[in-house]
Amino acid sequence: MLLVDAHCHINLAKNPKEAISSALENGVAAIICSGDSLKDSEECIELADGKRIFATIGVGPDFACKETNYVEWLKEKIKENKGKVVGIGEIGLDAKVECNVKKQEEVFRDQIKLAKEFGMPIVVHSRQMINRVIEILKEEKAEKAMLHFFEGDEKHAIELASMGYFLSFPPLESSRRNRIIKMLSLNNIVTETDSPFAGKEPSDVLKAVEIIARIKGVSMESAADAITQNIRNLFNINIVQGP
Ligand SMILES: [Zn+2]
């Protein structure tokens, strides 16, 4: 059974290298480290080996008003780190950060375009902005996307799944998330921990798979297989068992 943490910030763990070894020892087959500033993106790239650890790079809402020349920077990094950089993100919109929404949207759109230019998926962050996020994904015709820590309701989930996107769920239950998991096809579900936030670590992704398997009424193996296949397809990466 292959377990994958499709979204975390392992570079922010107290000791990232130790956190990675511990995750791999505890059965995690692959980890995707996402940056939301250029500094964090660089740190994720440094940790990536293109085998077990992969990076997605980008400027998130929190940094949208702070970073400049980010498109050029991201392009360079994508070209220099083939096989390690596998997507753009996390990017998106957040109603709770200082940066104004107009600027956030501009930065979000720039990076959707960039992802399309390179045929890469985007890792989308949304906090209290899901309707606007969906409008922008449509307007920009985003091709491949994963909605990290999915915050929407059933209506949003149906719409996003019909657009071919993936919804990502953490190892935390809520009645809303459980309803959505029940309704969605396993073909649209991926798992993440967002660690080290909320005191999680990548091996907690096992719990996310357990929740999904239980709600879907399938074995752990078949849930994990479907999820891992989704992550392979989305990020175009090879995920294999073993050290
Ligand atoms: Zn995150």
Q: What is the domain-level CATH number for residue 89?
A: 3.20.20.140
CA of 129 to the centre of ligand 1 (A): 16
243 assigned to some structural domain: no
CA of 34 to the centre of ligand 1 (A): 7
Q: Can you give the pLDDT at residue 177? A: 97
CA of 64 to the centre of ligand 1 (A): 15
240 assigned to some structural domain: no
CA of 43 to the centre of ligand 1 (A): 14
Q: Can you give the pLDDT at residue 243? A: 66
Q: Can you give the pLDDT at residue 241? A: 82
What domain range includes position 44?
Answer: 3-235
Q: Is 195 helix (H, G, I), strand (E, B) or coil?
A: coil
CA of 7 to the centre of ligand 1 (A): 6
pLDDT by 10s per residue, the chain, length 243: 999 999 999 999 999 999 999 999 999 999 999 999 999 999 999 999 999 999 999 999 999 999 999 999 999 999 999 999 999 999 999 999 999 999 999 999 999 999 999 999 999 999 999 999 999 999 999 999 999 999 999 999 999 999 999 999 999 999 999 999 999 999 999 999 999 998 999 999 999 999 999 999 999 999 999 999 999 999 999 998 876
CA of 194 to the centre of ligand 1 (A): 5
CA of 65 to the centre of ligand 1 (A): 18
CA of 62 to the centre of ligand 1 (A): 11
* CA dist list (Å): 228 to 83, 107, 163, 193: 18, 30, 20, 15
241 assigned to some structural domain: no
242 assigned to some structural domain: no
Q: Which of 64, 26, 19, 59 is closest to 40 using CA atoms? A: 59
Q: How many domains does the chain have?
A: 1
Q: Can you give the pLDDT at residue 197? A: 93
Q: Which of 128, 133, 82, 95 is closest to 111 using CA atoms? A: 133
CA of 91 to the centre of ligand 1 (A): 9
CA of 90 to the centre of ligand 1 (A): 7
